[in-house]
Amino acid sequence: MKKNLLIAIWMTIATTILLGIIYPLVVTGIAQALFRDKANGQLITVQGKVVGSRIIGQPFSGPGYFHSRPSAAGTGYDAANSNGSQLGPTNQKLIDRVKQDTAALQAENPGKPVPVDLVTTSASGLDYEITPAAAEFQVPRIARERGMSESEVRRLVAKHTAGRQLGFLGESRVNVLELNLDLDASRPLHIAQR
């Protein structure tokens, strides 16, 4: 009995050191050596200042910026509280919010159908991409606010539109942060508008 207890204690200590300390350090070291950008959250810096992550959404509410998909994560785009709204498709609170958001967007572009990703949240609440249709819907507002032609704005959208992965996985998508940063580089707006 005593021998078995000692073996169990030594195995617990050995596996804790091996799998709880050594293995994570080796994996972290390999990730830092081979995939430094991805291992550190794919942060984007502008003039030495971190402005966001390439893979975590953030809110843009100013009229001169492309707006991200709505977020239900914490107070919005809170990575520590990544979560959807947990409201089902028949929940009246969700229906009312979607109707209100749709009406506000239709006032922006009367007569144009509102893309679903501009009025619904994702399961994570951290979407950093929108569909090309959602970007196209916002083009007139961006062009008007920035004093650009719609074709100039569409060229920037096309530049930041990624196709399906491997040609058949997923859908085309537009990275909102990268697009807005490119807009700021092309035709700056006052930072308070963000």
> pLDDT, tens digit, for every residue of 48-98?
898 888 888 888 888 999 999 888 777 777 777 777 778 888 989 889 989
37: amino acid identity, one letter: D
Q: What angle do CA 18, 23, 25 make, to 5 degrees?
A: 120
Q: What is the pTM of this model?
A: 0.77
Beta strands in 83-177 (DSSP E): 129-130, 161-162, 173-175
Q: Is the pLDDT of residue 110 over 80?
A: yes
- Residues paired with 130 in a beta bridge: 174
Mean pLDDT on 134-156: 94
* Gap between the Cα atoms of 102 and 97, Å rounded: 8
Per-residue pLDDT of 5-35, as tens digits, reads 999 999 999 999 999 999 999 999 999 999 9
Tally of residues, the chain: 194
* Gap between the Cα atoms of 110 and 113, Å rounded: 8
Q: How many CB atoms lie within 10 A of CB 50?
A: 10
Per-residue pLDDT of 162-174, as tens digits, reads 999 888 898 999 9
